[in-house]
Amino acid sequence: MAEALHGGRIWELARELGCPPEEILDFSANLNPFGPPEGVLKVIREALPQALTAYPDTEAPALRRLLCARTGAPDRSLVLGHGGAALLMLALRALAPRRVLVPIPCFQEQPRAIHAAGAVLVPHAMADLRLDLDTLDPAASHCEAVLLTSPHNPTGQSLDHSELMAWIQRHPGRSIIIDEAFIDYTPNQSLLPAILARPRTVVLRSLTKFYAMPGLRVGYACADEATAARMMALQEGWPVGQLDLLAAEAALRDTGFEQRSLENFRADAPGFQQLLMELGLSPLPSAGPYALVKLPAGLTGTRLAAVLRPQGILVRTCSEWPGLGDGYMRLALRSRADQVRLAEALEGVRAALR
């Protein structure tokens, strides 16, 4: 079942084409095209074999200090875990809602996590693929919890910090989970740390996307202290591996990487949108390093993916994505050279794109 769920399936295509995985051009996973930071590679090389032959440091004081400084969260609010997706499952188990309101379309781990936690997903259709908070009403939908994502995957919509805070204040008594996996690209819109005063509230953060290291599984959550304590009580003994901890620490220390990535992102994202439009695609504006595009009538993502796959290029099709369909496709922002390769690879379907 995991097959149909995610982008980033380079291993499968490499096996299919009989080529090394590094030859695959992956537009299907939304990773920072400027990463990973050099310091991460260095720390991993230097940590071997010690990091393999000892159990991980479960206290991770240096990493915890860095994350507290970064988010303004107190140490007791911070939960480390093996990626944002795992922490979502943990948050749902800790909050134990029966019904969870989720704007649709949504990141595809969300339905899976909700079902795994024994809850029911109550869909809230995003009209025109934009979330209008005024129409989102957990009380009317009999939901104890709401799961929001900002910037949103797959649409790229960023929720305004003040509007979101005002909406949350209008809905006391509900559990709230906010997935901020892509917030590094719009840091001013984060709800941290102000939201931590609210009970039954969790903010999820990923370290795999902005630092381009999804092969390591590391992320963190910040929650009100009671919820954070419940989450930690439900975790296994070693929730994060030692290499993951060291890599996370090195990534966060590299503030130059963060600065450069943001500057490059702001410089490159408009050109990417422009290229997509020149190709005849209609991208939604996006606050993240990706764009959801609407395809011209008569053309499907499945057809484009079939043209690109033999050329070693992966894109995220949406045919089985609730709330989207085969008339959409999601593309990650990659380097200018990679974008040119994508454009050239689409040459054969140019007529259909116009």
Ligand X SMILES: Cc1ncc(COP(=O)(O)O)c(C=O)c1O
Kindly give the residue spans of alpha helices, DSSP state H, lying in the chain: 10-17, 38-47, 50-53, 61-71, 84-95, 109-116, 161-169, 225-234, 242-253, 255-278, 301-308, 336-345, 350-353
Using rule CB under 6 A, residue 39 touches ligand X:
no
The least distance separating ligand X from the CB of residue 216, rounded to whole angstroms, comes to 9
Taking CB under 6 A as the binding criterion, the range among 41-49, 67-75, 206-214, 304-312 that sits at the site for ligand X is 206-214
In the complex with ligand X, the residue whose CB is nearer, 97 or 105, is 105
Q: Compute the Cα dihedral for 12, 9, 254, 53 and give only its sign.
A: negative
- 314 contributes a contact to ligand X by CB under 6 A: no
Give the DSSP letter string of 119-181: -EEEEEE-GGG---GGG--TTTTT-SEEEEESS-TTT-PPPPHHHHHHHHHTSTTSEEEEE-T
The burial class, CB within 10 Å (0-12 / 13-18 / 19+), for 321 is buried
Nearest residue to ligand X on Cβ basis:
83
Residue 179: CB minimum distance to ligand X, A: 5
Cα–Cα distances in angstroms (integers) from residue 51 to residues 48, 60, 349, in the given order: 6, 13, 49
Cβ atoms of 30 and 290 within 8 Å: the answer is yes
**Which range in 68-76, 78-86, 249-257, 307-315 contacts ligand X by CB under 6 A?**
78-86
Shortest distance in whole angstroms from residue 153 CB to ligand X? 4
Q: Which of residues 218-277 bind ligand X (CB under 6 A)?
A: 219
Quick one: which of 33, 83, 111, 138 contacts ligand X (CB under 6 A)? Answer: 83
Q: Does 179 bind ligand X (CB under 6 A)?
A: yes
Q: State yes or no: residue 157 binds ligand X (CB under 6 A).
A: no
d(C-alpha 56, C-alpha 46), whole Å: 16
Peptide bond preceding 49: is omega within 30 degrees of 0, i.e. cis? yes
Neighbouring C-beta atoms of residue 47, cutoff 10 Å = 16
Of 55-63, 81-89, 135-143, 186-194, the segment contacting ligand X by CB under 6 A is: 81-89
Q: Which is nearer to ligand X, 149 or 175 (CB)?
A: 149
- Give whichever of 199 and 323 is closer to ligand X, judged by the CB atom: 323
The residue with tokens 């209609």 is: 282
Q: Using the rule CB under 6 A, which residue among 63, 85, 147, 192 binds ligand X? A: 85
Nearer to ligand X, 154 or 283 (CB): 154
What is d(CA 300, CA 317) in angstroms, rounded to the nearest whole number? 9
User: Using the rule CB under 6 A, is 84 a contact of ligand X?
Assistant: yes
339 binds ligand X (CB under 6 A): no
How many whole angstroms separate alpha carbon 71 and alpha carbon 64?
11
Compute φ and ψ for 291, nearest 5 degrees. -140, 135
Task: Answer yes or no whether residue 208 interacts with ligand X by CB under 6 A.
Answer: yes
Please give the residues from 86 up to 115 whose contact with ligand X meets the rule CB under 6 A. 107
CB of 227 to ligand X, least distance (A): 18
CB of 214 to ligand X, least distance (A): 5
Q: Which residue has the tokens 């930071």?
A: 37
By beta-carbon proximity to ligand X, the closer residue of 181 and 331 is: 181
Residues that bind ligand X (CB under 6 A): 83-85, 107, 149, 153, 179, 181, 206, 208, 214, 219
